[in-house]
């Protein structure tokens, strides 16, 4: 169960804080709040699951560097929280403007609480409501599901099952095939009604979508829960009506085998049965999103337009796909992979989603490896900040390329944290200390400059600096690390140190 962010801010416990939005995020008031949580820990993001209204007094944030503040909001946005509410006062007189800009770009609403309020009271008031409504909806959803199961047991078809669901929820219920064909319907439909969509898979393959058209005075939360509870019953009805063919079943087993890391010989056996070529370059795609199942049709359409063969599989909050790239020649596969990356940048995904493309695999036998590498880069700290794909208008810069993080993957696998830290300190300890004491961004400046191949003009653009300002920063960096590294053997070591520091 969830409530709209705007409704949560109307509760008395929060109203006394005189909340106000500090940045502009589209449809912020309509964002669903699944839970209210409070924490002063800056590394809280991995413990959140999305949909939280996070309350913070700002004490830890006030003492953090500008870079850490930026990472904080990026990490929260990547987890898909509803909003961040910061209490301003002696500890945090105002929220830094640079942090607000980054949060806005990442799609994270930031709210100022202008007066002190007991966070415990806020959580008790709102969370108790969420829990009680969730329990009630689950009970009603189960009752609807049981009634549909009884109807199916007595020979009821799709229209009869949907009539039961419509009667129990008060919503118009329609089941639509992936191609848009109406398979069954019951109840009334209004163009102005609120529509809740639930995917209905059959043996792991999207077979239909359930549309629940709820009138304005209806309970959208009940429609969502009842719809999700009815998925298995509708799937059984669809299975009786149109059982999947052997090729489709083989495709499901292929993706499951890739997902579980099966041996290459198993993949080579399943490939031909599903119509997926055994030879030629392949690359895996991983999308972590609260809307993974809903994204599958759009991803399948994108893959069909980019590559000759593809397969996908939705599992919980993760969508995985495998693309067979053109030919067996490496250069062809690399070019097709780049085109796939470009297309994924335009994919419209929910805020907080993460998208990664694995490295080229030589044949289907290396599909599990490509998938594993794509997952690993999403777990890297260096991918979590800039790697999150924001919603509303495409993934933008949020598609993480496993090839560009090969150094980090190798270091994480082969070097323990202590060894990495010692190396960074020996190479760039003075720069790290300067950033700590002066709250500067010399390490980030050096990393961007090195990543661009020491291209000052490009680095200045990426850092949003004047070229002269960048030259001044580089001069200070060179003074701290023993001179200009260009033309010396130290360039590679310094570049490696900046990459290890991100871990």
Q: What SS3 string covers 348-403?
A: CCCCCEEEEECCCEECHHHHHHHHHHHHHHHHCHHHHHHCEECCCCCCCCCEEEHH
Rounded Cα distance between 93 and 88, Å, is 5
Among the residue ranges 171-180, 185-194, 240-249, 278-287, the one predicted with the least confidence is: 240-249
Architecture of domain 3-117: 3-Layer(aba) Sandwich (3.40)
What is the distance of C-alpha 300 from the center of its chain? 18
Question: Closest Cα to residue 286, out of 409, 188, 397, 389?
Answer: 389
Of 190 and 383, which is predicted with more confidence?
190
Rounded Cα distance between 469 and 493, Å, is 25
- Residue ranges of domains in the chain: 3-117, 151-241, 246-411, 415-501
Element (H, E) at 111: strand 110-113
Q: What is the pLDDT of residue 472?
A: 92
Asked if the model's pLDDT at residue 158 lies above 70, the reply is yes
> What's the average model confidence in pLDDT over 304-314?
86
Residues composing the chain: 503
Rounded Cα distance between 433 and 131, Å, is 47
| SS3 state of residue 23 | coil
> What's the average model confidence in pLDDT over 180-189?
84
Element (H, E) at 100: helix 97-105
> What's the average model confidence in pLDDT over 159-175?
89
Binning pLDDT at 50, 70 and 90, where does residue 204 land? low
Query: Scanning the structure block, which residue is given the tokens 């039961």?
Result: 164
Among the residue ranges 86-100, 141-155, 181-195, the one predicted with the least confidence is: 181-195
Sign for the CA dihedral angle at 238, 242, 244, 247 comes to: negative
Q: What is the pLDDT of residue 242?
A: 63
Q: What is the pLDDT of residue 384?
A: 52
Contact between 178 and 225 (Cβ < 8 Å): no
For the full predicted model, state whether its pTM sits above 0.85. no
pLDDT tens digits for range 58-100 = 888 888 898 999 999 999 998 888 999 999 988 889 999 999 9
Query: Scanning the structure block, which residue is given the tokens 């309020």?
Result: 117
Q: What is the pLDDT of residue 179?
A: 65
Rounded Cα distance between 459 and 456, Å, is 5
Q: What is the pLDDT of residue 140?
A: 76
Binning pLDDT at 50, 70 and 90, where does residue 1 land? low
pLDDT tens digits for range 427-474 = 999 999 998 898 999 999 999 999 899 999 999 999 998 989 999 999
Residue 66 neighbours by CB under 8 Å, 6+ apart: 96, 98, 99, 439, 441
Residue 105 neighbours by CB under 8 Å, 6+ apart: 390
**DSSP β-ladder status, 110-113 and 83-87:** parallel
Question: Closest Cα to residue 499, out of 395, 399, 398, 415?
Answer: 415
Element (H, E) at 6: helix 5-8
Q: What is the pLDDT of residue 398?
A: 77
Rounded Cα distance between 435 and 428, Å, is 11
Q: What is the pLDDT of residue 473?
A: 92
Q: What is the pLDDT of residue 357?
A: 94
> What's the average model confidence in pLDDT over 146-164?
88
Element (H, E) at 112: strand 110-113
Percentage of the chain beyond pLDDT 90 is: 21
Q: Which two tokens stand for residue 247?
A: 């090729």
Asked if the model's pLDDT at residue 202 lies above 70, the reply is yes
Top-level CATH class of 246-411?
Answer: alpha beta
Among the residue ranges 21-35, 204-218, 271-285, the one predicted with the least confidence is: 204-218
Asked if the model's pLDDT at residue 332 lies above 80, the reply is no
Q: What is the pLDDT of residue 356?
A: 93
Residue 307: phi and psi, rounded to 5, are: -130, 155
Fold of 151-241: Beta-Lactamase (3.30.450)
Dihedral class, residue 96 (left if φ above 0, else alpha if ψ from -120 to 50, else beta): beta
């Amino acid at each position: 169960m969830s409530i709209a962010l705007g409704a949560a801010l109307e509760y008395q416990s929060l109203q006394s804080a005189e909340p106000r939005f500090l940045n502009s995020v589209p449809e912020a008031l309509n964002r669903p709040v699944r839970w209210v949580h409070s924490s002063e820990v800056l590394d809280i993001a991995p413990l959140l699951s999305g949909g939280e209204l996070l309350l913070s007094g700002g004490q830890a944030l006030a003492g953090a560097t500008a870079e850490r503040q930026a990472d904080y909001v990026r990490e929260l946005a990547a987890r898909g929280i509803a909003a961040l509410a910061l209490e301003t006062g002696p500890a945090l007189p105002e929220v830094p403007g640079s942090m607000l800009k980054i949060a806005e770009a990442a799609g994270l609403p930031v709210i100022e609480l202008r007066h002190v309020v007991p966070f415990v009271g806020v959580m008790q008031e709102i969370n108790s409501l969420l829990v009680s409504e969730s329990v009630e909806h689950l009970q009603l959803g189960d009752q609807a599901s049981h009634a549909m199961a009884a109807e199916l047991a007595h020979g009821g078809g799709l229209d009869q099952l949907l009539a039961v669901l419509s009667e129990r929820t008060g919503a118009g219920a329609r089941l639509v095939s992936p191609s848009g064909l109406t398979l069954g319907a019951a109840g009334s439909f209004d163009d102005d009604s609120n529509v809740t969509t639930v995917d209905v898979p059959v043996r792991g393959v999207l077979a239909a979508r359930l549309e629940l058209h709820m009138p304005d005075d209806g309970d959208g939360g009940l429609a969502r829960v009842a719809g999700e509870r009815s998925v298995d019953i509708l799937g059984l009805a669809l299975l009786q009506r149109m059982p999947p063919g052997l090729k489709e079943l083989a495709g499901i087993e292929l993706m499951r085998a890739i997902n579980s890391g099966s041996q290459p010989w198993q993949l080579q056996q399943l490939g031909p049965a599903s119509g997926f070529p055994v030879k030629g370059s392949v690359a895996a795609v991983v999308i972590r999103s609260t809307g993974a199942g809903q994204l599958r049709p759009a991803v399948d359409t994108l893959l069909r337009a980019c590559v000759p063969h593809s397969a996908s599989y939705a599992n919980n909050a993760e969508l995985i796909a495998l693309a067979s790239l053109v030919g067996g020649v490496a250069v062809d596969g690399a070019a097709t992979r780049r085109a796939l990356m470009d297309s994924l940048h335009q994919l419209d995904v929910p805020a907080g989603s993460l998208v990664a493309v694995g490295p080229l695999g030589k044949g289907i036998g290396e599909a599990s490896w490509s998938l594993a590498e794509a997952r690993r880069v999403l777990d890297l700290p260096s991918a979590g900040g800039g790697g999150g794909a924001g919603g509303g208008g495409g993934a933008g810069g949020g598609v993480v390329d496993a090839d560009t993080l090969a150094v980090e993957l190798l270091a994480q696998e082969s070097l323990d944290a202590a060894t990495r830290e010692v190396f960074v300190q020996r190479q760039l300890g003075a720069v790290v200390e300067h950033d700590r004491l002066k709250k500067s961004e010399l390490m980030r400046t050096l990393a961007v400059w090195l990543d661009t191949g020491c291209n000052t003009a490009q680095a200045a653009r990426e850092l949003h600096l004047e070229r002269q300002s960048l030259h001044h920063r580089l001069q200070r960096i060179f003074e701290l690390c023993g001179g200009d590294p260009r033309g010396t053997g130290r360039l590679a070591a310094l570049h490696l140190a900046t990459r290890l520091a991100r871990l």
